């Protein structure tokens, strides 16, 4: 399978002529990532050192989400431009994101972490984690991202039904997630059926679409 922005003869072309030309990883990579996602969804978190903490698991989820989502070609300036994960508001991860994701990449794109105070900066990110500290401003944040190809993730109750793309939930000390497929469509993001199969799905109106 061709790598992002690579033609059949191996030459580089940018921008790619279609999403599928560069955003889909090789099948073995997908299979391995799917196993990791399934494992994460069933792994109990703990505050001690014997098991991953809640935010270690959430950091791992964020990284693996990116492997099952297609961003439009226009989301990046080049085939090796950074893939940016941003945290908007009070950061609940501490050093976990940096320590867990340091040196990692999404395909050929090095992964970078940014902390934001201004919601207008979020349009420059591929993925934005909206802290619970911003729950009172969620409608404004989502409106400011309208038309941007940004995966918006949060953990506030009702986040997905309110228009966020992915909402983390906790069930029996396990991290689960809900996906708003309408929000993904608005952002121009193509979510893998394998990712959708692991999530609870909702529409903007908040009614369940499936489990």
Does 23 score more than 50 pLDDT?
no
DSSP strand pairing (166-171 vs 174-180): antiparallel
Kindly report, residue by residue over 57-102, the tens digit of the pLDDT.
Answer: 999 999 999 989 999 988 888 878 999 999 999 999 999 999 999 8
Task: Tell me which residue range forms the domain holding 47.
Answer: 25-210
| 117 lies in some domain | yes
| Cβ(45)–Cβ(58) below 8 Å | no
| Residues in a beta bridge with 171 | 174
Q: Report the CATH number at residue 165.
A: 3.40.50.2300
Comparing 51 with 159, the larger pLDDT belongs to 159
Q: Are 151 and 168 in contact (CB under 8 A)?
A: no
Q: Does some domain include residue 80?
A: yes
Q: How many folded domains does the chain comprise?
A: 1
Packing angle of the helix pair 27-42, 54-65 (nearest 10 deg): 150
Task: State how far the Cα of 128 lies from the Cα of 122, in Å rounded to an integer.
Answer: 7
């Amino acid at each position: 399978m061709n790598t992002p922005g690579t033609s059949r003869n191996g030459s580089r072309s940018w921008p790619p002529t279609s999403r599928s030309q560069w955003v889909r990883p090789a099948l073995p990579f997908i299979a391995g990532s799917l196993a990791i996602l399934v494992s994460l969804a069933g792994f109990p978190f703990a505050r001690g050192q014997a098991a991953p903490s809640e935010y270690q698991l959430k950091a791992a989820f964020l990284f693996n989400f990116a492997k099952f989502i297609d961003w439009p070609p226009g989301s990046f300036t080049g085939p090796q431009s950074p893939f940016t994960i941003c945290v908007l508001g009070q950061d609940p991860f501490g050093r976990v994101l940096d320590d867990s994701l340091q040196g990692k990449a999404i395909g050929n794109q090095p992964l970078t972490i940014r902390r934001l105070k201004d919601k207008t900066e979020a349009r420059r990110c591929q993925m934005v984690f909206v802290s619970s500290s911003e729950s009172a401003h969620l409608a404004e944040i989502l409106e400011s991202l309208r038309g941007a190809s940004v995966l918006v993730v949060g953990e506030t109750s009702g986040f997905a039904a309110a228009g966020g793309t992915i909402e983390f939930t906790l069930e029996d000390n396990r991290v689960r997630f809900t996906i708003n497929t309408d929000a993904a469509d608005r952002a121009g993001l193509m979510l893998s059926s394998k990712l959708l199969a692991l999530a609870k799905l909702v529409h903007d109106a908040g009614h369940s679409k499936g489990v």
